[in-house]
Chain A
Amino acid sequence: MRYARPTTLNDALELRASTPGITVLCGGTDLYPATERPALSGPVLDISAVEGMRGVTQTADGLRIGAATSWSTLGAGDLPPSCSALQQAAREVGAVQIQNAGTLGGNLCTASPAADGVPPLLVLEAEVELCSTRGTRRFPLGGFLTGARRTALAPDEILSAVHLPNRALAGQSVFTKLGARRYLVISIAMVAARLELEDARVRSAALAVGACSAVAQRLPRVEAALIGAAPAEAAGRIRSDAVAAALSPIDDVRGTAEYRTQAAAELLRRAVAKLCQAAPGTQPRVTAA
């Protein structure tokens, strides 16, 4: 039999290290669509039963999300408003069947350019926890994702958790997904935005765009332009050329590169406007750039 479903991380890591090329299975929502046969082939390491890999826990330096946490669990969890984008994304992945099975860690390891989980995690400055029998390392998510369907995961490693540092758990966030239909859709573009407002000014801003480059991107230049803005003017400070400069979209069946760039800027303005609307005594205006 070429299948194991260990219950401890150590057992899983032993197998991962001792069986080169073993397929790591968790929710199955990416692995099964990749084959037309009735079963997966090759040795399979099923990490869905590993203890400590599901659910969200508070740690001294922030929140720890087990990599095997399903979208449903994440979407229904009691998380701070800074995580709203992540929870909204969780409720937009596929539909309920996919959300019940698919996991955050799987989404990151598959590393699709259109992975819905990535932009919200980028604005939360997430770090991934990578374990192997050699030890544990943490990696900023942006560095972990090295390209379209490529990651820095070593052949003997398992992505065990995602950490959200306390410094990024401030403020409020929002996620918007743009697709050609309502449900079960791969994004043409998507954005996540997290803002901290203080004394009716933007104190900090984190913006990320997905499906518009091989790996979803933060937009530091655009973010910097928002600092100090009054809520009503913040969205207007998002310049299309600055957004475009941060992205490298492609033409595909879902949309053109040109459209993606425009849409990303528009989605960011709306996301920021929406977050600013929540601020007391402000009436934001959305203007086209």
Chain B
Amino acid sequence: MSLDAPAPTVTVNGRSVETAGMSPVLRLSDVLREALGLTGTKIGCDAGDCGACTVLIDGEAACACLTPLGQVIGRNVTTVEALCTAGTARLQSSFLRNGAAQCGICTPGMLMAAAALLERTVRPDRAEVEEALSGVLCRCTGYAKIVDAVCDWLEEAPEPEPPESGASVGAAVPRLDGRPKVDATEAFGADILPVDALLVRAIRSPHPHAAFAFGDLAAWAQAKSGVRLVLTAADIPGLNRFGVIPPFADQPALAQSVARFRGEAVALVVGEPCALNHAELADFPVRWHPRPPVHDPQHAAEAPALHATRPDNLLVTGRVRTGDARSALTGAAHVVDGSMQTAFVEHAYIEPEAGAAWLEGETLVIRACTQAPIMDRDDTAAILGLPAERVRILPAAAGGGFGAKLDVSLQPLIGLAALRTGRPCRMVYTRRESMQSTTKRHPGQMTARIGADAQGRLVGMVFDGVFDTGAYASWGPTVANRVPVHASGPYRIGAYRAEARAVHTTNPVAGAFRGFGVPQAALLQETLFDKLAEACGMDRLAFRRANALSDGDSTATGQRLFGVGIGACLDALKPHWQRALADAAAANARPGVRRHGVGIACCWYGCGNTSLPNPSTIRLGLTGEGVLTLHQGATDIGQGANTVITQICADALGLPVTAFSLIGPDTALTPDCGKTSASRQTFVTGRAAAEAGAALRAEILRRANAGEDGVLDLTAGRLTVRDAQGVRPVALDGPPDLRGYAISAEATYDPPTTPLDENGQGVPYAVYGYGAQMAELAVDTGLGTVKVTRITAAHDLGRVINPQLAEGQIEGGIAQGLGLALMEEYVPGRTENLHDYLIPTFGDMPQIRSILIEVPDPEGPFGAKGLGEHVLIPTAPAILNAIRHATGAEIDRVPALPHRVMAALQDAERRGKVPR
């Protein structure tokens, strides 16, 4: 016996494939994607932790990333590409129909795991589906709709009828961009494979803080097989500095002489893909000189400044002050105080950052995952010393974002490599790289005191928070400014003083993560409200209802609000609340280690930038051939902007969504719709879409000389208007307008806000959304484990544009809120993978009931408000409140891992706080 290669053929999707020349210890996933071009199989972790690469080997589910090619020789491998032609194609339709795919990156893995199950069990129940699919992680959906889709796969449901003209808003239109997600043809960043592309890999700091110096880079590159070029900060032609808020831009694309966090890129290695991808780069010539790290933001002021212009390592302080909070608390009948500590939270999208860059003439084209194409363009152009118009950002499908794909990651790196080599360059982050180098949720260390009068009316609140913004600014200023505005919750508080400081450390860069600090602040405020309600002798829901903002009330920033839906949300929960309290009491009447509890928490969240312009522009045109084209520049990261914006535009125009062709996002073709963040796309871009639709409609009616009630029809490229005078065609064969269309319209909307003064007074947001959630759970008092059984979520959307997508946002947000509450804690150097960093799996999700409330907003399109971030804010505090209700245990640090719950239980025992 010798070390020989085995007989080298494998059957892939029924086709015999020669593997001669391939290493038998290659990961099967690499063979499928790189050698066979079967990019439907996704890579999320290369460690068997996420299941995105699930394929069938002789009918059994396996992670292709863990399977050596040598072990599938002579066997049958089935990938997602084969499902489209098999009988299971209806499974894919069921995924689309049920809204089971949001960003779509986990969908192939889910489909394959389901296919293995359905092979054995044609009609599985929900438990069987959860068990069989439990090896695949999803970060968007909260899993319920995936289970629905698998259980529902045999239904011969006809394709849902698209809504008629004027009936799009409010209809559960399946996502318009959904088909490529369920048939796995969607091109994510790692699926962009330009011919003849070079590969780019980064050298990153293993230290949280270190000076460094390079050795002989040229000699190393020369000697290293496959390496063409090494690039460092010295090679950056423009300003080596980026940042999402230009006045605070401070982050180098490649660090120059000092690395300020573990995982910071210091150099790029560019080379031939095969050789470079296999190469170990441990011999890269760099010498590290570690410096003392700064880990604790509370002591960061004592450390040398990480940025010369920021003494005490203080980035920004945000404040809101109204009335005299201290006096109000002194005079209050009941006062509670407390603290809360939260951890770094990782976005854990299943798609690590990836993309490709190439030159088209003078233009550098970058196709990568992103939430903010125009910001990517501007940052990348500045770093590369190019005028903005020479950079074109053509977003790849984003396999999840949740805030971390707002900042540039690899865009300037692959752009630099493409400029320098003249060849297409691609880069795919490993899971570890993605977790180390991209932004996190800000850890917060917060304290607050809140007081109420004898009738249970809030009279004063003082809040103080320190937020660890890490090595660079990113969205730290936003967090510091958003938190004081929101830390009151959606309540009337007469006197209020809140301060939040974003502080630099040598920890990971903290940036945007669904809620910008508001979920952290709500954890403290909402848990203190439970104590305050108790002190006032009031039911916890009634206490919140009594203090809830209502129309005409002023916020702590002095803004008068209208269209306030928090009261309606609480009212909608009331019957569920009473039922749940009775259920918990009945369950607790039985002895046992499991104690049952119910918790409630509310949220509010301002949609759009805080007191800063954030316009969106939508263009809409009809070609001479009668093609209706929507230039939709809002990136759809799975939340549904492509569908929702089209629905809004459709009704404003008066044609069905099926009449639309979508273009974009693409910085060369779509006007700026801003970034997908701050729950702004439905509101801001939606409003622009409504106005563009209305403008195009007005122009069509004018040309047809028809009145406001004219009914549009676009059939087979022929546009007509019908009114009382009859049906008239609208000519489209005239000379094209300046935008190249027969008829077109463009509209820009920027929410009316005002700056906040030194006391935080002003109008930071034009629109707020509201919500309230109720958690039911059981605590195992012997082990400190928590099982959340049900969450009832009432959210005020102003106007529901698409109920299925809205439910998807709620379910997914709750999953992330549950993770924040119970399991997620990023520790640099320790949890840089998806088995040490835990996100919820199929088995961790409660039953979720969504209640969609519509209190129209005067400003939003069709009355609509944002939803995307609101949904996770109440979840974690509702869970903590339910734990306290069940056991008396007060959690002041999340995640509430079993050992922390156990310690809190023992503390409650000592304090005599355990309910009997």
Chain A residues within 8 Å of B, Cβ to Cβ: 1-6, 8, 11, 14-15, 19, 25, 27-29, 32-33, 36-41, 43-44, 46, 48, 72, 94-98, 100-101, 178, 180-186, 188, 253-256, 258-260, 262-263, 266-267, 270, 286, 288
Contact = CB atoms under 8 A, between A and B. Distances in A.
Contacts of B24: 1, 3, 5, 44, 46
Contacts of B311: none
B3 A266 contact: no
Nearest to B819: A181
Contacts of B116: 96
B897 interface: yes
Interface stretch (B230-238, B769-777, B824-832): B824-832
A259 B1 contact: no
B49 A253 contact: no
21 contacts: A5-B6, A5-B24, A6-B1, A25-B68, A28-B68, A32-B27, A32-B46, A32-B68, A37-B278, A40-B68, A94-B135, A95-B134, A97-B63, A100-B60, A101-B63, A180-B822, A182-B842, A183-B843, A183-B844, A255-B897, A263-B783
A72 B132 CA distance: 12
B833 to A, nearest CB: 8
A36 B47 CA distance: 9
B25 A3 contact: yes
In the A-B complex, list the 8 residue pairs whose CB atoms are closest, starting with the nearest. A182-B843, A95-B135, A259-B899, A33-B47, A11-B1, A183-B134, A38-B30, A183-B841
Contacts of B843: 181-183
Contact of B278 (A33, A39, A288): A39
B338 interface: no
Contact of A25 (B25, B135, B825, B838): B25
A288 B782 contact: yes
B540 to A, nearest CB: 27
Contacts of B51: 95, 97
B823 to A, nearest CB: 5
A234 to B, nearest CB: 17
A18 to B, nearest CB: 9
A185 B26 CA distance: 26
A185 B834 CA distance: 10
B904 to A, nearest CB: 12
B442 to A, nearest CB: 19
A39 B25 contact: yes
Contact of A38 (B27, B48, B833, B903): B27
A38 B593 contact: no
Given A38-B278, A43-B3, A101-B66, A178 B783 contact: yes
B823 A39 contact: no
Contacts of B2: 4
A41 B280 contact: yes
A260 B897 CA distance: 12
B13 interface: no
B62 interface: yes
A36 B281 CA distance: 11
Contacts of A14: 1
Interface of B: 1-6, 23-27, 30, 34, 46-49, 51, 54, 57, 60-63, 65-68, 70-71, 113, 116, 131-132, 134-137, 277-280, 430, 432, 593, 782-785, 822-823, 825, 827, 830-831, 833, 835-836, 838, 840-844, 895, 897-899, 902-903
Contacts of A270: 782
A100 B26 contact: no
B782 A266 contact: yes
A1 B61 contact: no
Contact of A254 (B5, B25, B785, B897): B897
Name which of A33, A46, A258, A270 has the most chain B CB atoms within 10 A of its CB: A33
Contacts of A256: 899
B842 A183 contact: yes
Contacts of B65: 32
Contacts of A48: 71
Q: Which of B48, B51, B430, B897 has the most chain A CB atoms closer than 10 A to its own CB?
A: B48
Contacts of A183: 134-135, 841-844
Nearest to A269: B782
Contact of B430 (A36, A41, A72, A266): A36
A181 to B, nearest CB: 5
Contact of B70 (A5, A95, A98, A178): A5
Contacts of B5: 1, 3
B766 to A, nearest CB: 39
Contacts of B68: 25, 28, 32, 40, 44, 46
A39 B1 contact: no
Nearest to B785: A178
B75 to A, nearest CB: 11
Nearest to B835: A186
A241 B524 CA distance: 37
Of listed B4, B34, B65, B899, residue having the most chain A CB within 10 A: B899
A283 B251 CA distance: 65
A181 B30 contact: no
B23 A39 contact: yes
Contacts of B54: 97
A271 B26 CA distance: 43
Among A46, A48, A101, A270, the one with the most B-chain Cβ atoms within 10 Å of its Cβ is: A101
A284 to B, nearest CB: 13
Q: Which residue among B63, B830, B840, B842 has the maximum number of chain A CB atoms within 10 Å of its CB?
A: B63
Given A5-B24, A33-B49, 19 more contacts: A3-B3, A6-B1, A8-B1, A28-B67, A29-B63, A29-B66, A33-B46, A33-B833, A46-B25, A46-B71, A48-B71, A96-B116, A96-B132, A97-B48, A98-B135, A184-B134, A184-B841, A253-B831, A288-B782
A180 B3 contact: no
Given A5-B6, A100-B60, A101-B63, A184 B27 contact: no
Nearest to B71: A48
A40 B66 CA distance: 10
B25 A40 contact: yes
A97 B27 contact: no
B3 A19 contact: yes
A97 B135 contact: yes
Given A36-B432, A182-B844, A286-B593, A255 B899 contact: yes
B137 A184 contact: yes
Contacts of A286: 593
Contacts of A1: 3-5, 23-24
Contacts of A184: 49, 134-135, 137, 835, 841
Contact of B62 (A36, A37, A101, A181): A101
Contacts of A254: 897
A115 to B, nearest CB: 14
B67 A101 contact: yes
B71 A28 contact: yes
Contacts of A4: 1-4
A32 B47 contact: yes
Given A32-B66, A253-B827, A267-B783, A38 B26 contact: yes
A243 to B, nearest CB: 14
Contact of B823 (A6, A37, A96, A181): A181
A2 B54 CA distance: 27
B70 A3 contact: yes
Of the candidates B71, B279, B844, the one having the most CB atoms from chain A within 10 angstroms of its own CB is: B71
A188 B785 CA distance: 11
A2 B831 contact: no
